[in-house]
Amino acid sequence: MEKISVGLLGLGTVGTGVVKIVEDHQDKLMHLIGCPVQIKKILVQDIQKQRKVDIDQSLLTTNPLEVIEDHEIDVIIEVMGGVEKTKDYLLEALKRKKHVVTANKDLMAVYGTDLLKTATENGCDLFYEASVAGGIPILRSLVDGLASDLITKMMGIVNGTTNFILTKMSKFGSPYEEVLKEAQELGYAEADPTADVEGLDAARKMAILARLGFSMEVDLEDVSVKGISSVTEEDINYSKRLGYTMKLIGIAERSGEKVEVSVQPTLLPDSHPLSSVNDEFNAVYVYGKAVGETMFYGPGAGSLPTATAVVSDLVGVLKNMRLGVNGSSAVSPQFEKKMKTPEEIFAQYFLRIHVQDEVGAFSQITSIFSDHGVSFEKILQLPLKEKGLAEIVVVTHKGSKKDFQEILQQLKELNVVTEVKSTYRVEGNGSR
């Protein structure tokens, strides 16, 4: 091959990083691939916009067809974002026998199965390492490094925005709204932060991880999601008092043939490695039946970390081109999708309950837990400023999600309970 020509869809933060890496690392790319790599055409919204990288204006276009239909372009790199329109562009590129590299988690969570099928049908590669955890090579590790193992659980911090917010709330006692505003000013959070703070971004990533790690067609709607917008300073303070750190944790766990996938604010023991992952950093724990526990840690976003993952995928595509094995990497799911029911999901829980400060109140509460076979591991009981009220904080032993849902409903109906203030999952205590 004399040279490899690449088409780039998008020239924002990540796209700019891709251009820089391809230009600055030509010697290494030549060594790995054996020929130069050239970015031939770039789709942008505004050709005249000032950018942080020097670009030949003749490479820019506002017409996606100039990139997708260019017969000299071998690989399309998609870093423009979006779902419906972007899906159409990539399907057309694959049908034209162009390999695709994407960093688009939203797209892969919703249409990943269809795109991978089209890629295989057309003998093309579709790589998407950068769609989860930025510069951390977690997907490649699942597909290649841990390919011979049986993955039983993946648990981690996969959204840097929420981790930044919870870190600041925990370290400095700052209220949620104040820290969210700071995250927006620093560029960690979008003007509309809903996808991050309500857990949707993390849920998309966990769907992708579960699909690969469990070889099962897990969809976005299979992920149980709860965000951090209702987390209070009191929740975090009580967590710390009991020896826990709060993080937004994605969990994908397999027991036998069935799996559960969730994203929710979770209390971890202070001694747990994920508790020390702070600010915008990401980390994913992977439990394999043979390898045991492994942890992947690093920057979850940013121009160069994410672009590094994108260009690494590009190198993978180009190596496959040299070997003539493009389109053979996608493997159909091995297992039929079987999701756990609430009766089959077991966990510990943290609860804050406001009650009437009267004789017999606590015994009425404990009897509800006892009736469902759920006992307490830790208990705090404190008076409140409001006269005649007390606050009970408990961490339970493991119980089923179904039992816990029924306990919550019965607590809310109990006369001595004025309010169930908050409930969170607890992970990392005792055996799994």
- pLDDT given for residue 430 in this prediction: 45
Mean pLDDT of 29-53: 90
Q: Where are any strands of DSSP class E within 192-303? A: 224-225, 244-255, 258-269, 281-288, 292-299
Closest CA to 88 of 125, 59, 114, 54: 114
Residue 53 pLDDT level (bands cut at 50, 70, 90)? confident
Backbone φ/ψ region at 302: left (φ over 0), alpha (ψ -120 to 50), beta: left
For 311, the enclosing helix (H) or strand (E) is: helix 303-323
- pLDDT tens, position by position, 317-332: 999 998 888 887 777 7
Distance CA 56, CA 36 (A): 18
Segment 142-164 shows an average pLDDT of 91
The residue among 135 and 372 whose pLDDT is bigger is 372
Mean predicted lDDT score pLDDT of the chain: 92
Q: Which residues pair with 4 in a beta bridge?
A: 37
Q: State pLDDT tens for residues 93-137.
A: 999 999 999 999 999 999 998 999 999 999 999 999 888 877 788
Examine the pLDDT at 431 and tell me if it is beyond 60: no
| Domain range 138-299, CATH architecture | 2-Layer Sandwich (3.30)
Rounded average pLDDT over 389-412: 96
Range list for CATH 3.40.50.720 in the chain? 4-134+303-323
- The pairing of beta strand 37-43 with beta strand 4-9: parallel
Tell me where in the chain the CATH 3.30.70.260 domain(s) lie.
342-426
The vertex-58 CA angle with 72 and 103, nearest 5°, equals 65
Under a CB-based contact definition with an 8 Å cutoff, are residues 27 and 61 in contact?
Answer: no
Identify the sign of the CA torsion 51, 56, 57, 59.
negative
Domain 4-134+303-323: assigned CATH number: 3.40.50.720
Between 176 and 432, where is the model more confident?
176
Query: What is d(CA 358, CA 229) in angstroms, rounded to the nearest whole number?
Result: 33
**pLDDT over 90, % of the chain:** 77
pLDDT in tens, 200-209: 999 999 999 9
CA atoms within 13 A on the CB side of 323: 13
Task: List the catalytic residues.
Answer: 205
Identity of residue 177: E
Per-residue pLDDT band for 432 (boundaries 50, 70, 90) equals very low
Give the per-residue pLDDT at 136.
84
pLDDT at 388 over 70: yes
Please list the residue range(s) of the chain that carry CATH number 3.30.360.10. 138-299
CATH number of 342-426: 3.30.70.260
- Cα–Cα distance, 62 to 82 (Å, whole number): 16
**Structure tokens that stand for 156 in this block:** 């981690």
Average pLDDT rounded to a whole number, residues 161-173: 94
What is the rounded average pLDDT of the residues 178-186? Answer: 91
Q: List the single range of 1-5, 34-38, 205-209, 422-426 with lowest mean pLDDT.
A: 1-5
Burial call 397-428: b when 16+ CB within 10 Å, e when fewer: bbbbbebbebbbebbeebebbbebbbbbbbbb
**Residue 333 confidence class, pLDDT cut points 50, 70, 90:** confident
Of 13-17, 131-135, 347-351, 354-358, the range with the lowest mean pLDDT is 131-135
pLDDT, average across residues 139-155: 89
**pLDDT band for position 1 (50/70/90)?**
low
Amino acid identity of residue 243, one-letter, is G
